[in-house]
Amino acid sequence: MPNTQENKQQNLFKDWVNLYTNALYTWALHRTSHIEIAEDLVQDTFLAAFNKLENFKESSSPKTWLFAILNNKIIDYYRKNKVKFTVLDEVLNSDNSIKDNFNEDGNWRENTSQLAWTADGNLLDDEAFNQQFSICIEALPSKMKNVVSYKFLQEKSTELICQELEISPSNYWQIMHRAKLQLKQCIQNYWK
Amino acid sequence: MKPTLFISCQKATILIEKQQDVKLDFKTGLKLKFHLLLCKTCQQYNKQSVLMQNIMSKYFKNEGSTNEVDKDNTALKEKIMSKLK
């Protein structure tokens, strides 16, 4: 007698492959910028998921679960390939966000002080705003984006992240500061 | 340099980033509070920074929205399916 339970599971899983491959692939491509690597990561994600299907809780969303697995794979990939995050000089010197935003005295330049977008709570759930914001994140310089993604792909304290990236916390805040200045500016240009 | 309660906006905005990770020491925290009382643009930055932090966290957990790339992944799907045994 064929194991119908197993067949059912396999069919369900095939639906997931059809439903989520594109989304997973897009994400992996954003994070690695390599087509082949992105494809491999997506494949590894599905195989890993398939082998630990018993860990999946029916109550959670398959998409969230698959993305959590993929994010771990991405971090593994970063670690294994020692993706160079910490070319600090490169991150800090190649960016004009400080000069663009602040004058010699360290105060806001006049043109940046206009409050073009107001950060009220509703924006967090605003679909269009999130969409625009994701475009701005992906537009960050790649080294800076690597540090930011390294932080947010994992739920780890800044202290641990700094140890792994071999940078000091003060350098980390500097990078985050500049990333946010760039994001703020990017949003300012598109969100009026 | 004589000690002062006044800090620049550049310094204040870095402290705003720091504050989201660690508790500022009393004196530094006071300087930031004082600056924020007087500076509307930094008040605004403070709110924007926290919002950006939350949106980034959401985005990287894939709970935000991304435009999917337009690519035919049929071959990849078939390859994956063939390995599910």
Contact B56, A145 (CB under 8 A): no
Residue B9 Cα, gap to closest chain A Cα (Å): 5
Confidence of residue A156 (pLDDT cuts 50, 70, 90): confident
Confidence of residue A24 (pLDDT cuts 50, 70, 90): very high
Cα separation, B41 vs A8, in Å, equals 58
Report helix, strand or coil for A108: strand
CATH of segment(s) A88-190: 1.10.10.10
Does residue B16 surpass a pLDDT of 90? yes
For B25, phi and psi rounded to 5 degrees? -70, 160
Report helix, strand or coil for A102: strand
Counting every residue written for chain A, the total comes to 192
pLDDT of residue A82: 66
Residues 138-167 of A with CB under 8 A from B: 148-149, 152-153, 157-158
Confidence of residue A81 (pLDDT cuts 50, 70, 90): confident
Nearest CA in chain B to A116: B44
**Is A184 in CB contact (< 8 Å) with chain B?**
yes
Confidence of residue A87 (pLDDT cuts 50, 70, 90): low
Q: Strands, E, within B1-85: which ranges?
A: none
Structural Rg of chain B based on CA atoms = 22
What top-level class would CATH report for the domain A4-80? Answer: mainly alpha
Of A18, A105, A119, the CB nearest to B47: A119
pTM: 0.83
CA nearest neighbour of B46 among B21, B23, B12: B12
Domain edges within chain A: 4-80, 88-190
Contact A20, A33 (CB under 8 A): no
Of A120, A153, A176, the CB nearest to B60: A153
pLDDT of residue A115: 57
Contact A181, A101 (CB under 8 A): yes
The partner residues of A102 in beta bridges, in order of sequence, read A108
Cα separation, A187 vs A137, in Å, equals 10
